[in-house]
Structures are given as C-alpha cells and as structure tokens.
C-alpha cells in the first residue's frame, strides 16, 4: 500500500551555492563544480551560524543546519508546526566530522592525548547533524542517522516515509551528505 509523501521545503548547500534553487539551476544547466577532482563548495559558516554553533559543529553538521534552515523557511515554520514529540530528524551522512577527526589526530600526534579537545567526539559522530537539528528545533521524535555511503540521503528520506503514521505522528526529515 502506498501513501503520499509531501515535501514542504527543501534546502541545500552545495558546490553550486547556497539554496536548493541554486542546486537545481546548476544541475539543469549541466554545470560541473569539480575542479582538480574536488567538488568546490564556497560555504562560509559565519554567514549563517553563530560563533558558538561554528565552534560546536563540524562542517558537515553546519551544512545540514543551514540546509534545514532553508527547508523550514520554505515550509513556513514559525516555530514548530506541532508538538516536538511528533517530529523527528533523520539525516543521511556517508561519514562523520572529518575536520574534527583530523584536528584531534593532529593534536594527538603533536601534543599528546591530553591535548585532544573533549568536544571532538560529538563533532566527529556521524549522527551529529540529526542531533543538532533536534536540539535546534526542539524535536523529540525519532532522531538518528542513516549511513549507506552515497545513498545515505535517499535512505533517510525512505526511512522517514516508511515510519508508521497510524498514530497520527507528523514526520519531518532532513537529509544531508557529508563532504
């Protein structure tokens, strides 16, 4: 049995720029943003996030937060649309916080284990974006991460669509792909 799934907002931070519209226009134009084998993304966290959020989250979580902000604005959220217990955050990410992991590894090698930032673990965890979105929007429904390589975002969307709605739960889904 199939049932309709309604997408009320989309968000993207991509090599094409900020916003799902930029992403769609880039795709439609057949443009590539790969230079020297690397997808270039001109994302400046300070343009979108507080200093505290910049320090608290690795880049992949920052990208998810900014994309989710766009999606909730498009959806017309002015606060939560219903009780936060009825809304979850399921985020797909192929990998965790690479920049935080690299910084922790560098600190370990150059200054020893005592120099590793205790906040490294929450930054590195692949479920950091799902947790960040749940905290940011006071979501108390299902909050988790799917990890299935390049299909992670599609898996997150499918998981949200398959959740039982018989209990009257409203589901919100955010999808992100780690850089």
What's the pLDDT tens digit per position in 108-158? 999 999 999 999 999 999 999 999 999 999 988 888 998 888 888 888 888
pTM for the complete prediction? Answer: 0.86
* 90 CB-contact burial (10 Å; exposed 0-12 / middle 13-18 / buried 19+): buried
What is the rounded average pLDDT for all residues in the chain?
A: 85
Alpha-carbon distances of 41 from 22, 33, 110, 175, 179, rounded to whole Å:
12, 8, 30, 17, 9
Does some domain include residue 133? yes
Does some domain include residue 156? yes
- Quote the number of domains for the chain: 1
Does some domain include residue 99? yes
Alpha-carbon distances of 73 from 40, 68, 77, 176, rounded to whole Å:
26, 8, 6, 17
Does some domain include residue 27? no
Does some domain include residue 87? yes
Q: What pLDDT, on a 0 to 100 scale, did the predictor assign at position 63? A: 92
Does some domain include residue 110? yes
Look up the domain containing 92 and give its range: 80-162
What's the pLDDT tens digit per position in 29-65? 998 888 887 877 888 999 999 999 999 999 999 999 9
Does some domain include residue 59? no
pLDDT at 20 over 80: yes
Token representation of residue 13: 């931070």
Does some domain include residue 46? no
Q: What pLDDT, on a 0 to 100 scale, did the predictor assign at position 24? A: 92
Per DSSP, helices labelled H in 82-151 are 98-111, 120-124, 128-137
């Amino acid at each position: 049995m199939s049932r309709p799934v309604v997408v009320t907002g989309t968000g993207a931070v991509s090599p094409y720029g900020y916003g799902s519209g930029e992403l769609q226009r880039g795709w439609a134009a057949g443009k590539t943003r790969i230079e020297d084998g690397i997808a270039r993304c001109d994302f400046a966290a300070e343009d979108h996030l507080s200093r505290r959020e910049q320090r608290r989250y690795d880049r992949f979580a920052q990208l998810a937060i900014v994309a989710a902000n766009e999606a909730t604005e498009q959806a017309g959220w002015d606060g939560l649309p219903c009780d936060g217990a009825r809304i979850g955050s399921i985020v797909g990410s192929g990998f965790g916080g690479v920049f935080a992991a690299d910084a922790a590894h560098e600190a370990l090698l150059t200054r020893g284990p005592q120099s590793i930032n205790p906040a490294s673990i929450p930054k590195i965890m692949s479920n950091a974006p799902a947790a960040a979105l749940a905290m940011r929007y006071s979501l108390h429904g299902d909050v988790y991460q799917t990890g299935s390589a390049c299909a992670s975002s599609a898996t997150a969307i499918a998981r949200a669509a398959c959740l039982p709605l018989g209990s009257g739960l409203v589901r919100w889904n955010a999808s992100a792909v780690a850089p």
